[in-house]
Structure 1
Amino acid sequence: MRPLLSTLAILLAAGPALARAEADEATLAELSVSAERVPGPDPAASAGFVGGVSGIGGALRPVEAASAGVISGAQLNSRPITRPGEVLEAVPGLIVTQHSGEGKANQFFLRGFNLDHGTDIALFVDGMPVNMRSHAHGQGYADLNFLIPELVGGVEFHKGPYFVRDGDFASAGSVRIDYLDTVAQNLALTTIGSFGYRRALTIASAPLGAGNLLVAGEAQTYDGPWDVPDRLRKFNGVLRYSQGTALDGFAVTGMAYWAKWNATNQIPERAVAEGIIGRYGTLNPTDGGDTGRFSLSGRWSRTDETGVTRASAYVNRYRMNLFNDFTYVLTDPVNGDQFRQRDDRVLGGGEISHVFQGDLTGLPMENEIGVQTRTDSMRVGLFNTANRLYRATVLDDRVLEASAAFYYENRLRWTDWLRTSVGFRADGYYADVRSDTPANSGKARDGIVNPKLGLVLGPWSETELYLNYGGGFHSNDVRGVTATVDPASPLFTVARAPFLVPSTGYEIGIRNRSIAGLETAVALFRLDFASENLFQGDTGTTEPSRPTRRYGIEWTNRYAVTPWLRLEGDLTVTNARFADRDPAGRRVPDAPTTIASAGVTFGEGLGWFGALRVRYFGPRPLIEDNSVRSRPTALLNGRVGYTFESGVSLSLDILNLTNAKADQIAYFYTSRLPGEAADGVADRHTHPVEPTAVRLTLAGRF
């Protein structure tokens, strides 16, 4: 341990009780039952996070850090959004954007990370991991387009690698999303909007036997403002049977999702400046893709005199085809550089844990043990294409990747103002790669053990202090772990990547509720990574790079001014640098320095409701020496609506209210347009924000 922060961190990682040390079961129950979610706010929702509930559907215990919390589904659905994944921007400091067609996984930014499509943020829906390891497009690829926001009962988020349940991909943070078991009133809605946006949704539940049956169905189309329309076609369904409560009961859930789309990817700025294409144009009109996801999952929990037992299991059938062209005619001047990435897999796994409740010489204590498993059997391939027609195989691999983890944590309340948590997590990985390039076949094994420590001081005058420390990791694409030659040029050898890449995090934070209705939290954090994953423009994937260090500050505020008026404001400032020396420079490309958001939500029950939100995404270095930077993006979204006594509501969303001419994303790399020099041109490549759009929603509850 080094400076003061590192020294303090040794004490680390427990959970706050700013959300009150005694979380009550009614709070959890609220997350699991009512769906008065759309489109008006829930009058019962608190100003801030649903405090005191950690591990939705499991044991009740205090929130574990100043940067952790739980958000109700009502709060998520009070926000106007462009795409499903944007509901996660309710997590303070998290940016969710898109650089391609609407069916592709979102791009995430958090704590100074360009997380690509999910490399270092672990996402879960109903206990199922969304991140795909050794994915055809990028490590940790997390497609949330199957999410139905109106079904969300609650979202639990953690930042940093301090929590024993979090393993792979969770170094920057984790987000666990749980769906409702039942709805108080059935819901039917339809939305029409600009650029061909159409959406229909139905959610219904009814008693069945000793439990409840919930059914939801969604269909959506969207063209977007692009010269080549997205022509998104999406179908989504959920079927769930449940009995009991979140602490004593079970649920079985089936989900089905299918989507197909065209894609306007990021484009070089010189192509727009020279008039080759317009701002919403494309250099390859045949980019796009299709995907499907079918899952069956179950969860079970029981509370007895010893504590709480939880168990869950899932199986997921996943397919994706993705056609991209990021460099145009740089590699192949005749046929172009389009490629197809194919991912076809079955994955399954589960988790079982038990919280032993007791005492140590009269001091309240909990011990939690748990086991997690996951196995992916997949076929992943990369193929050269022209206008989506096959030209050549670059690689076509069969991969089996399995992992198992054991975690343990002791939580002890020493006094009314002192709590500690001490734990560890052990992960083991095995993979078998059978490549069409025999030299790249092989087997790999790796393991890692990480401590998780924490301390909470307080409350004093409604104020608590949190100290957190923990180790984490992300796995690399296992094909890079076993590969010895370049599949595109087998005469060239390649260096093998490490299987598991460790990270170390530190945090000190404070949370205060001394002003009625106001919850404010400040966290200072640091995260060291042994190897950074960076975006590579020529393939559209991420590759291991140099070690990094990040440190920063987060400030989060939630204020319930009245029962019908709520305010929010968040600010994150991060310094991200490569930890080693290199003539190329020390800046981490695409690492955000400043992220900020603010909003106001109003409405209570019947009558008028609405929201106004602004999100600021600061400029970022695009190359290591900081000589090329992105431009900042500030977006303002608004909503206004009215709920009638009949249960019918009408709402209008206005997205990008100021019609900002900003960028969703920016990269700097080399590409080549027809007629340019053979070695191409290094240029900034951007994907624009959609212009002002309106969406009108008519919803009925019955």
Structure 2
Amino acid sequence: MFPGSMNPRFLRFHLLGALFLCLCSTTGFAQTSLSSSIRGIVTDSASGQRLPGVGIRLEGLTAATASDALGAFRLGNLPAGTYTVRATALGYRSPATTVTLGAGATQTVTLRLSTVALSLREVTVSQPRDPNQSLATITQIDRVLRPLNSAQDLLPLVPGLFIAQHAGGGKAEQIFIRGFDVDHGTDFNVSVDGLPVNMVSHAHGQGYADFHFTIPETIEALKVYKGPYTARFGDFATAGSGEFITKTSLEQSQVKLEVGQFDTRRALVLLDVLPKDKHLFTQNSESAYLATEYYFSNSYFDAKQHFKRFNGLGKYTGLLSERTSLTVLGSHFTSNWDASGQVPERAIREGTISRFGSIDPSEGGSTNRTNASAILTTTLSHDAVLRQQAYFVNYNFNLYSNFTFFLDKPEDGDEIRQNEQRNIYGYTGSYERDTPLGGRTLHSVLGVGTRLDDLDLALRNTVNREVRDTIVSGHIYEQNFNAYLDETLPLTDHLTVNAALRVDYFRFNFREQRDPALSGKAGKGRVSPKLNLYYDLTPNVQFFARSGFGFHSNDARAVVLDPRANVLPRAIGYEVGSTFKPVPSLVVNTALWALHLQDELVYVGDGGFTESSGRTRRYGVDLALRYQLTRTLFVDADLNYNHGRLVEAHPDSNRIPLAPTFTSIGGLTLKQPSGLSASLRYRRINDRPANEFNSVRARGYFLLDAVVSYTRSRFQVGASIENLLNVEWNQAQFDTQSRLPTEPAEGFSELHFTPGTPFFLKGNVSVFF
């Protein structure tokens, strides 16, 4: 039986756990105490900026918390006495602060953190304010150590995530994680500063997540949540979620130029538009910066790709008062390209084209995206934090593809055009507070949100980019309403329980312009309980057991055809694992996990129809290692084993196409105080089935990349090499039925692929001011 829909006892267990903590929160709000407390603010000693998410601990005690969105913290329920307060954040150091409390007294402190060289000896593994973010330590280390050469390097910062590019940088990447071929984002939720990246009911496919509107040098932090265990995420969050956060301010302005092979050029400008005397930074501070990026490349294909991309970003953050901050962000992205497309192995084998050739050189596309966002964060008088965000996205997409060549239309070819024009309107709000409860502190978060996608889209047949006829064309109105309650309660000094309940409701409306039979309306809701346990044996050893329900979302065009169908198939995931430090300079995260889906529905945007895989089952093991060999030398490795099957299929045809079974990413990094940095990194993915029968195999690969840079106070020079060994490898790979002009009418089914980057050298120089 599928545990997500046919095991009511398991569902009741989750619901009772969540409701128990909800009851605790409502009773806890009425409690009062004469105990003492410590309040404080955490700031960067150089810039004066407040720092959120910094761990706060009392020496010799288990009491801990973290600074909130405004850099404030509170440690309550303390008896009178003298305490030593320490703040812990990766890459920062703060002196110990001694506080003496009288009975019922409250003391206020300011903790000023100074930046220091990375030392894994000082890392602690527990996350007192957000225990579900058990990969926080790993991702913080990676953000400091791993080099970023392009926006494509950002998603692989998620431990265990692999990407493959279809069109030389123009399209969104294909994503692989936890035994999923996520396509372009069907089961992994991505956001930037609270702006959703995944697109519902997209012209190319459900969940399409084009991340290229992000400038890598502006990213400051990444939060990773594997599995459906966190209530803040609903749609697309089956395998997990990644939250990228851009910088609040710049340490200094920067101009950067890059030049590489294949006519590759990139220019970057980061400009601090509110420079200030750091020593006069006040609590009513504000910061603002502009970032622009231009990129051009003809890529390594025989036909020039003419790939162009422009990004512009402006961000303002200001403290309107001691208790209120405002963040305003605006950005614009535009890109256009030609593409060589996927090619069949036989065409290369027979000498019809070279490895970097193309069958239909008229493929390509264009896209643009404009974002606007405002976030108002307020600390209320009773220590609660109210965060509200409103956002707007205007998005346009136009793609020409040809996957089957001359199979359906022997004379003109099978090229198609997918295009859409979309507006997204969204709001999210959260109310967060700590409440004394029986000598413990209950952390509660209540969240609400809505997202409305209003778009026109079409799928058409084309020849050399000229439209011949229309397959599907219409207007989609899709809205999601959601709410959640998340409660975290330390039951003992070592054991913490996190329980949550999330509710999602979707409204679908599709009007097909030519065929009313394809139009319709539908509505569907889901309740998703979560229950997670964390046991901190020591500050350096944490065990966890997590479980949660989620859902696999579906495309509006498919939903309205049969509103009674299971349009939001349930998912259930669970895992056990640990984050620990066996020796002071080694951080390890490991998890044994399983994930069941009631159905995997995929709307095939290339054909205008829905495919159902039926029930699926996946399980696997994740292992992440971060080790500091010396003061300046670090080694890291992620190893991920995944096993997945189609549950209802015959054993001879139960493989999940393109689902990876083993992936690994790692490297060796040198960080010298003199400014010299170097990194040698590898990527490994194994062969995997390309169809249900395992009769065609997608080919694995092992790649080496290298990066070196030298940084001083006013400049930086560097170079990078992709595919250091110049191996032949395949990026996107599919088992496709296609026909070349001289072949029989039925064509041939075999592996089609996009060739991976050959040896690629690129140099860069930056000036800071």
State the match for 1:435 in structure 2: 512
Alignment deviations for residues 18-55 of structure 1 (CA, whole Å, 9 cap, x no partner): 99854455767989xxxxxxxxxx9644659987797x
- Superposition deviation, residue 504 in structure 1: 0.5
Query: How many Å separate the matches in 2 of 1:153 and 1:63?
Result: 21
State the match for 1:573 in structure 2: 641
Q: Larger RCO: Structure 1 or Structure 2 (Cα < 8 Å, ≥ 6 residues apart)?
A: 1
2:178 to 103, 111, 123: 111
| Contact 2:124 2:539 survives alignment (8 Å) | no
Say if 2:190 is the partner of 1:123.
Answer: yes
State the match for 2:615 in structure 1: 547
* Partner secondary structure for residue 405 of structure 1: strand
Alignment deviations for residues 275-294 of structure 1 (CA, whole Å, 9 cap, x no partner): 11110011110100000101
Say if 2:514 is the partner of 1:446.
Answer: no
Say if 2:711 is the partner of 1:643.
Answer: yes
Query: How many Å separate the matches in 1 of 2:577 and 2:289?
Result: 40
- Superposition deviation, residue 267 in structure 1: 0.8
The structure with the largest alpha-carbon Rg is 2
Query: How many Å separate the matches in 1 of 2:668 and 2:429?
Result: 40
| Contact 2:332 2:370 survives alignment (8 Å) | yes
Query: How many Å separate the matches in 2 of 1:540 and 1:115?
Result: 19
Letter paired with 1:218: E
Query: How many Å separate the matches in 2 of 1:116 and 1:217?
Result: 29
| Greater displacement, 615-624 / 315-324 | 615-624
Q: How does 1:302-381 map to 2 (within 5 A)?
A: 302-304=378-380, 305-381=382-458
Letter paired with 1:117: H
| Contact 2:708 2:720 survives alignment (8 Å) | yes
- Superposition deviation, residue 699 in structure 1: 0.9
| Contact 1:511 1:519 survives alignment (8 Å) | yes
- Superposition deviation, residue 162 in structure 1: 0.3
State the match for 1:488 in structure 2: none
State the match for 2:216 in structure 1: 149
* Partner secondary structure for residue 351 of structure 2: coil
| Contact 1:483 1:496 survives alignment (8 Å) | no
Say if 2:157 is the partner of 1:90.
Answer: yes
Identity %: 35
State the match for 1:633 in structure 2: 701
Query: How many Å separate the matches in 2 of 1:501 and 1:64?
Result: 24
Q: How does 1:18-29 map to 2 (within 5 A)?
A: 21-23=64-66, 25=71
State the match for 1:213 in structure 2: 288
1:239 to 290, 314, 336: 314
* Partner secondary structure for residue 673 of structure 1: coil
| Contact 2:54 2:89 survives alignment (8 Å) | no
| Contact 1:367 1:409 survives alignment (8 Å) | yes
The structure-2 alpha-carbon separation of the partners of 1:461 and 1:139, relative to structure 1 and needing over 3 Å to count, comes to closer
Say if 2:753 is the partner of 1:686.
Answer: yes
1:284 to 333, 340, 360: 360
State the match for 1:492 in structure 2: none
TM-score (norm 2): 0.82
State the match for 1:272 in structure 2: 348
Q: How does 1:223-238 map to 2 (within 5 A)?
A: 223-238=298-313
- Superposition deviation, residue 676 in structure 1: 1.3
| Contact 1:614 1:637 survives alignment (8 Å) | yes
| Contact 2:56 2:88 survives alignment (8 Å) | no
Letter paired with 2:649: R
Q: How does 1:432-511 map to 2 (within 5 A)?
A: 432-436=509-513, 437-460=515-538, 462-483=540-561, 498-511=566-579
- Superposition deviation, residue 678 in structure 1: 1.1
Query: How many Å separate the matches in 1 of 2:2 and 2:598?
Result: 17
2:485 to 408, 421, 426: 408
- Superposition deviation, residue 647 in structure 1: 2.0
| Contact 2:206 2:602 survives alignment (8 Å) | no
Alignment deviations for residues 417-443 of structure 1 (CA, whole Å, 9 cap, x no partner): 100011110000001111121101110
Query: How many Å separate the matches in 2 of 1:543 and 1:199?
Result: 40
| Contact 1:338 1:384 survives alignment (8 Å) | yes
State the match for 1:178 in structure 2: 245
- Superposition deviation, residue 538 in structure 1: 6.1
* Partner secondary structure for residue 528 of structure 1: strand
Letter paired with 1:579: V
Alignment deviations for residues 205-262 of structure 1 (CA, whole Å, 9 cap, x no partner): 1338952221111111011110112111111100111113998512101000100001
Query: How many Å separate the matches in 2 of 1:49 and 1:470?
Result: 32
* Partner secondary structure for residue 357 of structure 1: strand
* Partner secondary structure for residue 657 of structure 2: coil
Query: How many Å separate the matches in 2 of 1:509 and 1:235?
Result: 42
| Greater displacement, 578-587 / 136-145 | 578-587
Q: Which runs of 5+ in 1 are unaligned?
A: 32-41, 55-59, 485-494
Alignment deviations for residues 389-440 of structure 1 (CA, whole Å, 9 cap, x no partner): 0100111110100011010011101111100011110000001111121101
Query: How many Å separate the matches in 1 of 2:549 and 2:725?
Result: 43
- Superposition deviation, residue 342 in structure 1: 0.6
TM-score (norm 1): 0.90
Query: How many Å separate the matches in 2 of 1:19 and 1:332?
Result: 66
| Contact 1:326 1:540 survives alignment (8 Å) | no
Q: Which runs of 5+ in 2 are unaligned?
A: 22-52, 58-63, 72-86, 93-114, 276-283
Cα RMSD after superposing both structures: 3.0
| Greater displacement, 617-626 / 531-540 | 531-540
Q: How does 1:613-624 map to 2 (within 5 A)?
A: 613-624=681-692
Alignment deviations for residues 621-671 of structure 1 (CA, whole Å, 9 cap, x no partner): 111121221121111110112123x42111110110011111112111211
Letter paired with 1:684: L
2:583 to 509, 512, 515: 515
* Partner secondary structure for residue 155 of structure 2: helix
Alignment deviations for residues 425-471 of structure 1 (CA, whole Å, 9 cap, x no partner): 00000011111211011101000001011111122472111000001
Query: How many Å separate the matches in 2 of 1:48 and 1:391?
Result: 64
| Greater displacement, 538-547 / 577-586 | 538-547
Letter paired with 1:613: R
Letter paired with 1:302: T
Alignment deviations for residues 662-689 of structure 1 (CA, whole Å, 9 cap, x no partner): 1112111211111211111111111111
* Partner secondary structure for residue 573 of structure 1: strand
